[in-house]
Structures are given as structure tokens and as C-alpha cells.
Amino acid sequence: MSQVTEAEAGGDSSALRLRITEIFYSLQGESRTSGYATVFIRLTGCPLRCEYCDTTYAFKGGEWFSFDNILTKVKKYNTKYITVTGGEPLAQKKCTDLLKILCDEGYEVSLETSGALDISEVDKRVSRVMDLKTPASKEENKNHYGNIDLLTQHDQLKFVICDRNDYEWAVAKIKEYDLLSKCEVLFSTSHQQLKPQTLADWILEDQLAVRFQMQLHKYLWNDEPGR
């Protein structure tokens, strides 16, 4: 499923609604807001099939939610942090409209995106947490490198590292694109493929100025959906 089309939305190009897999309240497990209570809005659909994907249940299905219904659900929770994720949220064109509305409502909004789709239309108030897909993901060829020039210090660039080759590839990309001057760079391991301690040791050995992170939710709740 690469994109939810207007035809699938009922043919009404003005309909303000999105196909949603789940809306839930939890602690943010990664990125610079790790540990903060956050509402997650998980959109349905993704054009990628990464080897390590932990949200395959979001590839299809879901339910249509109007923007009003989304906001009603979000407002039940006492938090200023909202994360829009997927799947690949930008596969639904109206995602950018939702992001703007959430910012207008005063929330601190982050977008988790694969880096395969153009981020230029995303509201600049949104913190874009963008992946560069490594070789072991099997989706390296989907990277949209033009996005890198759009990143600012408000954004974050994430590498999910599966093995030593991925690590060396990521270090090379940091140098090639001068990534540390553009935004914060995050390194995390593919859960159960690479020990976190191993990645931490590599970073320290190379004195690499990246943020090491672990997916907090996987250790607290064993990666249960909706947590």
C-alpha cells in the first residue's frame, strides 16, 4: 500500500479525514522527547517493507477518522506532545493538513517518517524525525536524499543500525552530507539484531557526535501494540 488515494477516501477531495490504525497514549520511546507522555497517531499504509519493521500491522486496514474525531481523542489526554507516525504517515496526502492543525492547536508535534517521501510540505513547526534507511533494511534504494537539504536544527535524522556494515555506512553518510551541521543525528539498534552495548561501544570508540538511543517502550512493555 503506497498511498491512500482520494478514491479510497470516498472521492471527496475536500474531506478532512485520514485512515488511522490506532491513536494511543504512552511514553515517547525515542527521539529528543523520549520519556515524555505523548499521544501517538498511527496512520495506515506504507510504501516500504523494511526487514526489521515492527509495525507491519499498520500496512493495511485501519479506520477512517475525521480531523474533528482525531482532535477529540487527542484532547482527552493531558499532554502537549503529539507524534504522528505509521506506517509511513506521508503516504496519505492529508497528513500535512493534520500536522498544521495540530500545531495551530498549540501542541508540540513530531512526525516519524521513513525518508522515502518528500517532506517539503510539512509545517516547519513540526519536528521531523526522518530515517535514512541502511543497507540491512533492504530499502536503502528508497532514500529520498533531496530531503536532507530541508532539514534544520529543529529536526532529527535517525539511523537504525543492524550490523557493523550498517554502522560504517551511516558514518560515511554523516561525512558525505555533513549531517551533524544540519540537525541532530540519532543512532539506534534494530531490536534483537544488534546489542545496544555494541553500538554504544562503536560510537565511543569513534568519538562520534551522535545521540545514542534505545527504544524505551520495547523494554518497558515488550513492544506491545498501542503501548
**Domains of the chain listed by start with CATH number:** 17-221 (3.20.20.70)
Burial class (CB in 10 A: 0-12, 13-18, 19+), 133: buried
pLDDT of residue 7: 37
Nearest residue to 223 (alpha-carbon basis) of 186, 185, 190, 187: 190
- Cα distance between residue 142 and residue 49, in whole Å: 10
pLDDT at 4: 38
Distance of CA 11 to the CA centre of its chain: 28
Rg over alpha carbons for the chain, rounded to the nearest Å, is: 17
- Rounded Cα–Cα distance for residues 26 and 37 (Å): 6
Residues 199, 224: Cα–Cα separation, whole Å: 24
**pLDDT of 220:** 75
The 10s digit of each residue's pLDDT in 18-72 is 999 999 999 998 899 999 999 999 999 999 999 999 899 999 999 999 999 999 9
Give the pLDDT of residue 11. 37
Phi, psi of 126 (to 5 degrees): -80, 135
Inform me whether the pLDDT recorded for 105 exceeds 80.
yes
Question: What percent of the chain has pLDDT above 90?
Answer: 84
pLDDT, residue 49, reads: 96
User: Sheet harboring 81-85: ordered strands across?
Assistant: 63-66, 17-27, 37-43, 81-85, 108-113, 127-131, 156-161, 184-189, 211-212
C-alpha cell at 166: 550498517
Q: What angle do CA 211, 194, 52 make, to 5 degrees?
A: 95
- Is pLDDT of 204 > 50? yes
Which pLDDT score, from 0 to 100, does residue 192 have? 78
